Chain A
Amino acid sequence: MGGLARRVSYLKAFKHRSNMEVPTLFVDAGNIFSDERFTAGQIPTDVMSKNKWVVKAYGDFHHDAANVNSADLPYLGELFKKEDFDKRVEEFPFINKLVSANVRPIDDAHLAPVPYVIREITLKRGVPGHKIRIGIVGFTESMPIGPNPDNRETVRGAYRIDDPFEAAKRVLPELKSKTDFIIALAYMPIDMSQRLATENPEIDTIIGARQINNTEDVQSVNRATIAYAYNQTKHLGELRVYVKADGSIENQVNRFVALDSDIPDDPAAVEVVTTAHNDFTNEQNKRSQETSSLIQSTSLLGAAESPFAGVETCAVCHQSEFEIWERTGHAHAMATLERKKQQFDTECVRCHVVGFGKGGFQSLTSTPQLANVQCESCHGPGRAHSESPAKGYGLMVTPIGCVACHTPVNSPDFNFVTYWPKVRHGAGEAAPE
């Protein structure tokens, strides 16, 4: 479900269905780049590759603007290096559509993204020929560190995140003087978006991201309509704007479009995504081989040093549960990724293995025994228990472990009552379907 290829397909269908009479914009509220394994100012080459293709694809398929958030800053530092900036823009014109009014470089070697972009549309409906200048401006919060929301990381990579509310006061009057309609892209919780709307009557629409959202309901604060994006690409936000006879805005109506298999992939977008995928996978393969060699040469993670034992060890004492597990989807979780050649994509892998990032699965080469969703994915690390068996290990009181991966986005149909029978085991329970 989802992905760029279906998104592009739907957008084309929307335009054609309206006989190309309806101007459309596409905006992204932020967190478009991966910052995975960003350490010591360096982004790994496979992650660089992934991000490069996002910039290319967003440009190729005519996205109008994307906001940047804290996670975007490491790669922003690569895109906005002063050295060879013009060449980079020539190759990836979408760089000039990355917007932020409150992100600025902390050194002289980097440039700031533009605070806003302006696009003029000409209406064919309502008031044919009427032009509307639309300003799209970006704001982000700095990321909270720990549970205290006042403790925030304001500097990341080569950039500092300033107070978004002060930035809004500075930028919005200027933007209002140049435009008729302002869209603020806001990577922040809804209460901060509400404050942004309350303090800034210039804003007509806020498109937010930062929290799981699955309601089409919008909020109206001051003159702004606030809509929050479904995260990732499984659902597309569609805000329909209606105008009055004098060309002013009458109403904005929000809906989410499920990009499931009823929406065919667009071939041109598939080509881009496939090329991106192959490029990224090649880089991941290289990295995997390097990691594997390193592990073999230094014994960084010998099997005995991991807190996870692996399903074969569990099966020694829990044979009946093992046999049930073998017939579940969990036991074949990695094959699902392999079919789509995503077995190296750590964004996906983490929910298809045991203990990723916690001393468990590292790669199919170095830790194949921890591939797939196994006993310890739910019951926790079991090596200590296997070496000194005793009651008390792995007791599951609530299904809270399930929802770490079965999120509303990844697994929208998840319901413990209906899903549990598929994996039911223990105390002589029946085998799954």
Chain B
Amino acid sequence: MVRKLSLLVIIAFLSTLAALNFGCGRSSGDDTDDGPLYVDLNDPKIKERLAQDDGYAFAIFYGGDIHGSLETCG
């Protein structure tokens, strides 16, 4: 009985470890690492700009008509 309990505890521990490492943790996913973040995510203005995280699965960012300009005038 003790051996069975020990085995259960070990299995539970390993399962938790696996979940933490491969399940719900940070994704190594499809997105390339963009380097460090310089934005304060707790800044209310940034929070307002990011809007609510309402469960979207992925996002497509887009633009157009930059016509050779990586910056804006003036």
Whether B34 and A232, one on each chain, are in contact in the complex, defined by CB atoms closer than 8 angstroms, is: no
Please name the residue on chain A nearest to B50 by beta carbon: A17
Contacts of A24 in B (CB 8 A): 31, 58-61
CA distance A13 to B35 in the complex (A): 11
CA distance A242 to B63 in the complex (A): 21
Map CB proximity to B onto A321-338 as digits: 1 under 8 Å, 0 otherwise: 000000000000100110
Give min CB distance, B4 to chain A, whole Å: 32
CA distance A207 to B59 in the complex (A): 13
CA distance A79 to B13 in the complex (A): 56
Scoring A23, A62, A257 by chain B CB atoms within 10 A of each residue's CB, the highest score goes to A23
Contacts of B45 in A (CB 8 A): 262
Whether B70 and A3, one on each chain, are in contact in the complex, defined by CB atoms closer than 8 angstroms, is: yes
Whether A71 and B67, one on each chain, are in contact in the complex, defined by CB atoms closer than 8 angstroms, is: yes
CA distance A58 to B55 in the complex (A): 28
The number of chain A residues with a CB under 8 A from chain B is 102
Is B1 part of the contact surface with A, judged by Cβ < 8 Å?
Answer: no
CA distance A69 to B31 in the complex (A): 27
List residues of A (255-302) whose CB comes within 8 Å of B's CBs: 255, 257-258, 262-264, 266-268, 272-273, 276-277
Map CB proximity to A onto B55-74 as digits: 1 under 8 Å, 0 otherwise: 11111111111111111111
Whether B62 and A29, one on each chain, are in contact in the complex, defined by CB atoms closer than 8 angstroms, is: yes
Is B3 part of the contact surface with A, judged by Cβ < 8 Å?
Answer: no
Contacts of B5 in A (CB 8 A): none
Contacts of A33 in B (CB 8 A): 67-68
Is B6 part of the contact surface with A, judged by Cβ < 8 Å?
Answer: no
Is B39 part of the contact surface with A, judged by Cβ < 8 Å?
Answer: yes
Known pairs A20-B26, A22-B59; A262 contacts B70 (CB<8 A): no
Please name the residue on chain B nearest to A123 by beta carbon: B57
Whether A15 and B57, one on each chain, are in contact in the complex, defined by CB atoms closer than 8 angstroms, is: no
Is B2 part of the contact surface with A, judged by Cβ < 8 Å?
Answer: no
Whether A347 and B68, one on each chain, are in contact in the complex, defined by CB atoms closer than 8 angstroms, is: yes
Whether A230 and B63, one on each chain, are in contact in the complex, defined by CB atoms closer than 8 angstroms, is: yes
Contacts of A125 in B (CB 8 A): 55-57
CA distance A31 to B69 in the complex (A): 10
The contact of A342 among B26, B54, B74, by CB within 8 Å, is B74
CA distance A53 to B66 in the complex (A): 12
Contacts of B41 in A (CB 8 A): 13, 16-17
Contacts of B57 in A (CB 8 A): 22, 123, 125-127, 241-243
The contact of A31 among B23, B54, B64, by CB within 8 Å, is B64
Give min CB distance, A411 to chain B, whole Å: 10
List residues of A (216-270) whose CB comes within 8 Å of B's CBs: 227, 229-234, 236-243, 253, 255, 257-258, 262-264, 266-268
Known pairs A20-B31, A122-B29, A229-B63; A50 contacts B68 (CB<8 A): yes
Whether A273 and B71, one on each chain, are in contact in the complex, defined by CB atoms closer than 8 angstroms, is: yes
Is A25 part of the contact surface with B, judged by Cβ < 8 Å?
Answer: yes
Is A12 part of the contact surface with B, judged by Cβ < 8 Å?
Answer: yes
Scoring B37, B54, B57, B64 by chain A CB atoms within 10 A of each residue's CB, the highest score goes to B64
CA distance A32 to B50 in the complex (A): 26
Q: Nearest 8 pairs between A and B by C-beta?
A: A209-B64, A34-B68, A348-B73, A231-B65, A29-B64, A229-B64, A240-B56, A237-B62
Besides A62-B32, A264-B38, 12 new A-B residue pairs in contact (Cβ under 8 A), listed by A number = A12-B35, A14-B59, A22-B56, A23-B59, A32-B68, A47-B68, A119-B30, A122-B30, A207-B62, A238-B61, A264-B39, A352-B74
Q: List 22 A-B contacts (CB under 8 A).
A: A12-B35, A20-B26, A20-B27, A22-B59, A24-B58, A25-B61, A27-B61, A32-B67, A34-B68, A54-B70, A124-B27, A132-B58, A229-B63, A229-B64, A232-B67, A233-B63, A239-B61, A241-B57, A253-B56, A336-B74, A340-B73, A342-B71
